[in-house]
Structure 1
């Protein structure tokens, strides 16, 4: 073999070695992983599908940063299943029904007994007129039906249900007309739990498979918008918020406009807590409602009342009703008070129904109000 042939052979071997070595080095360099093309496993049945706006899962063959995890959302409890649990909780906290049954079951229903019954009802915040009506009906029925045939529990149950008025429309109006979203305006004084109630309402709507948008129109308290954001994140609901100290009506307007543009089912508007004797704040609340209705009619004005405030809550309710035409009551903290009669009193005061009742601090401890279930719980 000639000298030139040997030279060509050595050069060829050297080039081949360099190619092999280069491939090895490239394989060792850091890079981005590629998502396998096999379809992802289905999410477990107790996890809702992630929202469209969030980072979910990569399409086959698309590069994503290593360690990306799809968010999981809570599946709220459906309203129907809440009633049994809440009924048990209410039955354990209320003494009104048990006290009435004890008095009506006496061998002799004398004047002292009837006075004790009346005192018990008044002490439960039922109100003077409803108390007098109930006592009169109970006296008549127990006297006419006689000691031998009258079942004190059945009579009391029927009359209490009539007093709570099962004929009232307690449905939340969460759907708008002509393709517009339903708009729920949530109002109340400071400390009643409005923002928490808005978050819990969102969970009820999500459990019913509705699309929801929240409006943080309490612009005076940055913590309120943050709190609402936390509620929304847990169930995949977005929150529209504005600058701290900004115009609440502007935030509400923007949220409802976005709801209209995106075809959202329901927009829930949280408002700042305000004292009923501050006329300027109350006028501002009326402005929020008027501005919203430039976009879409308000389908529900929900007044949040603290059940432990008793008769003071009735004064609050009347003033708010005059400003924004309240259509329903959300009664919170009912488990913290034995005065379940506030349900009757507030309905009589406003002529509007209690639609939601809260009996605890849990995220799903808010349920639609049902007259018969409420009375059965009071009677244990």
Structure 2
């Protein structure tokens, strides 16, 4: 096998526990780690992407130990690792058929997901199997316990006793899971749509000057308001992404939106906006200042490129942004009677 697997699939191995000591990184099969001065010494490892199988004998012989994506801070010291194989097979739709008797005879059971046979009627009754799709771990004991056999696609084991020394003792099946998909989100800005635009009154300040002289405005000449941006992400009904999966969407500049499937899938950001107010009120005038936030709802189609399991596919989604960043003021001046009581001479009120 060549080293042309996508770089998203790799394994990092360490000669000490807890990812310490010497380390090496691989992205393709390694038939003999001794050739690289790293045989029988791996004590911890990290898997990124597709699963790997580690063998205790060079050239992928001997017992195999499967490692799905994740961090393994300590490897059993008895698991001497001499070769590494990347699982490049399609793991997206696993299926195995179990048979009660050798040579694929007797009652059969089709399994498509992780299954504990001790909960049903087929426990310790399997004598042969055929793997249609995926890579399966067949355990001797329930809850992934005991020794397990790695069953590859199209594998046909006609007799457990002679080929596996299993003695009809399969109790648990686990299909290896593909690594996390790598998502590239492309926002199609040329198809952007402005759904709604509306003005929202967020503050109103009224100043009344009932004198015949220009008066200073007693309110602050500068005020701060919070501008909000509400972002949401909606997947198509046919998306293959599972609940809990998260990835980043770069909307523009420093705006990086983190999407997590199955959660609120939205975020709100706030920022302060300064609004300058007039410094003077003309004689016999009531000045009304309305602070207006323009709220715009925009939707943008999104093209998702999903790379997983050695395959690439395209799905569709929608990004929506409700922005209230634009804050402005409107001024209204109306006459005020000069005969009003002097206590009303420079009255400031505020309404929200």
TM bucket normalised to smaller: under 0.3
TM-score, normalised by the number of residues in structure 1:
0.20
Structure with the greater relative contact order (CA < 8 A, sep ≥ 6): 1 or 2?
1
TM-score, normalised by the number of residues in structure 2:
0.21
Structure with the bigger percentage of helix: 1
Q: Which has the larger radius of gyration?
A: 2
Structure with the bigger percentage of strand: 2
